Structure 1
Amino acid sequence: MTSTAVPADTLSAIAARRSMMIGYLYAIIGALLFASKGILIKLVYQHGLDAETILTLRMLFSLPFYLVIGIVTVAEYRRIGRALPGIGLVVKSILVGLLGYWLSAYLDFIGLETISAQFERLILYTYPFWVVLFGVAFFGQRAKPTALLGFVVSYAGLALIFTQMTAAPGQDVVFGVLVILGAAIAFALYQLFAKNLIATVGPQLFTCIAMIGAAAIIIGQFALTHPISALAVNHTVLIYSIILAVGTAVLPAFFMNAALQRISAQANATIGMLSPVCTIFLAMGILGEMLTPTDWVGTVLVIAGIAWFTVFDRRKAETTAEAAVN
């Protein structure tokens, strides 16, 4: 009896598909974890804290994780003989990290002071549009009409979900909308700039470098604008801050960057639109808010748009991989 060896190109294609599916899974987990952020921040705001204090507490509790994981990762690189990133890559990683983990987060927190968490999710998750726009304009990427159809369907669903939740326009609302839009643009730029750095530095080490750099700026900003005594919070806020640190900063960052290593920034961004839908379900369980028939229709449209884009992106990547091996 003779055994037939599997061709190397077939094994390569199978490995590429498996890596892509893992990337989709990581992106979904990251989106689910991010979904709770707005609700938790709104709960903390009820205790009279401001954006700078909440952001600093979040970073103080998450920073030890990044320091430990960073040290372990550096030790592993040395053990296997992998070169550590040079000073240039470290500086680039810090600067890109400031886009996603300081500027975007800070603008997001400020915006949540004036608009609802549901409205914040709608505006923030326009960032896939900016990923595509900037990708086409500055990064040599192409946007296919069939992929854009997924955006149209998802945004139609999001519009349905949030239309009845918007308040009458006012000075504070306009400011909040503009600030959250700035957060979305900053996060889109982060995704585009981070992808190549993640591939070079590695997702874990890049995340640690980026987060430690962002933490230094956030803590420094707080020290310049607040007394240290402002960090003396009650037990409830302390618990919320720990959950914000681990559940909406540490874990999502690693899952998102691991996803970016395996799938395109556009696919990662589009799958991330699950987050607003998850926010609604969390609001039902935590805040007692119920879904209307319009909300259900919108939810179906969002999921349908994400599914369409994901299938299209997967087929496009598989076609590219097959063309490369052939």
Structure 2
Amino acid sequence: MNRKQLAGIIEITLGSLGFGFLGIFGKWAFASGLGVGELLTYRFIIAALLLWAGLFIFSRDKIIIPRAQLVISACLGILGYAVFATLYFTAIKGMSVGLAALLLYTYPFWVSLLGHFFLKERMNQTQWLLLLGAFIGVSCLLWGQFHISNMTALIAGLGSALTYAAYILFSARYQRSVKPISSSLYVITFAAIALAVFHQPNLQMWNVLSTYQWQVVLAIASISTILPMTLILAGLQKLKSSQAALITMLEPVTAAIAAGIFLHESMSTLQIIGATIVITCLALSILKPGK
């Protein structure tokens, strides 16, 4: 393993930890009275404003990107993140949260399968076994009382996995030459626009949000949006998309551990076994990366 690959692994790991806290912040936001559409839209609008302000003040050169990359970022923001987030929360409305999450975390399989055929990222037998093992671990981690109230939810759940897999593959293929923070700026901006148009929440946030809600949404926008999106894109520029996708399976492990710490949710024996399996498979994949 060279230094570039090690840096990519660290970036993907840190990004996955950031995304893992999304559920915690989401629980706090929903408990405060925010709806799904409001939270999604405010999350991306505030993240976009933070990025625009930060880059305008400290690094204006990163605002300028080639026109082709602007179009790609727009597609990733609108057809990637905005559609993915909407599909995922649509799935949650029509089925148990655990089943929706389990469907979502099939995306490393889709990334590996599509990358194998379309990006020529060949995986050996050991890597396929580690991927299967990690998914079994996630299944144990998320196992619970599953229910589905309609087929739309099932389709939306599978759609969220496929959409996120496509996002990772497109980012890995077409954004290797763009600065990660620049890509995040436009992906988040276009996602914010798309979500605002689709959900149409009250955009007078200064009148809508309480002080506590501002704190929660700011945390989601920075810790669970800007930071992980930028770090994961940076990691995708250094690793195969299939390996990166496997490492992102740290997200549900982080979510489960964070829920125990911040929401006082106890982990069952099966969940502890699942988390251990996932971490073991990820460690083995890092120690024995594919060629």
Task: Kindly provide the amino acid, as one letter, of the partner of residue 266 in structure 2.
Answer: M
Considering only CA atoms, is the larger Rg found in Structure 1 or Structure 2? 1
Offset of residue 271 of structure 1: 0.5
The alpha-carbon deviation at position 181 of structure 1 amounts to 2.3
Aligned residue type for 1:269: A
Q: How many residues align?
A: 289
Mind listing any 5+ residue stretches in structure 1 that lack a counterpart? 1-15, 78-83, 317-326
What letter corresponds to residue 145 of structure 2 in structure 1?
T
Q: What is the alpha-carbon distance in structure 2 between the residues aligned to residue 250 and residue 305 of structure 1?
A: 27
The letter for the 1-side match of 2:149 is Q
Following the alignment from structure 1 to structure 2, what is the Cα–Cα distance between the partners of residues 209 and 215?
10
Q: Kindly report which structure 2 residues correspond to 1:305-316, keeping only aligned pairs within 5 A, or say none.
A: 305-313=281-289, 316=291
2:170 is aligned with 1:193: yes
Q: CA deviation at 1:147?
A: 0.5
Deviations 1:4-50 (A, max 9, x none): xxxxxxxxxxxx71111011001110111101112322332234433
Note the 1:98-177 alignment, pairs <5 A. 98-115=78-95, 117-163=97-143, 165-167=144-146, 169-171=147-149, 175-177=152-154
1:68 alignment partner AA: A
Which amino acid is 1:152 matched to? L
TM-score by length of 2: 0.89
Q: Secondary structure at the match of 2:265?
A: coil
After superposition, residues 12-161 of structure 1 pair within 5 angstroms as 17-71=2-56, 73-75=59-61, 85-115=65-95, 117-161=97-141
The Cα of 1:114 is off from its aligned counterpart by 4.7
Alignment RMSD: 2.4
TM-score, structure 1 as length reference: 0.80
| Residues 147 and 308, structure 1, Cα contact 8 Å, conserved in 2 | no
Question: Percent identity between the aligned chains?
Answer: 24
Counterpart CA distance in 2 for 1:69 and 1:229 is 22
Work out whether 1:208 is the aligned partner of 2:194: no
Q: Which residue, out of 282, 291, 311, partners 2:267? A: 291
Deviations 1:239-284 (A, max 9, x none): 2211111111111111111111111111111000011111111111
Residue 228 of structure 1, CA deviation: 4.4
Q: Residue in 1 aligned with 2:158?
A: 181
- 2: CA distance, partners of 1:166 / 1:49: 26
State the one-letter code of the partner of 1:170.
I
Structure 2 gaps of 5+ residues are: none
Distance, in Å, in 2 between the alignment partners of 1:92 and 1:177 is 29
Report what 1:323 is aligned to. Answer: none
What letter corresponds to residue 217 of structure 1 in structure 2? A
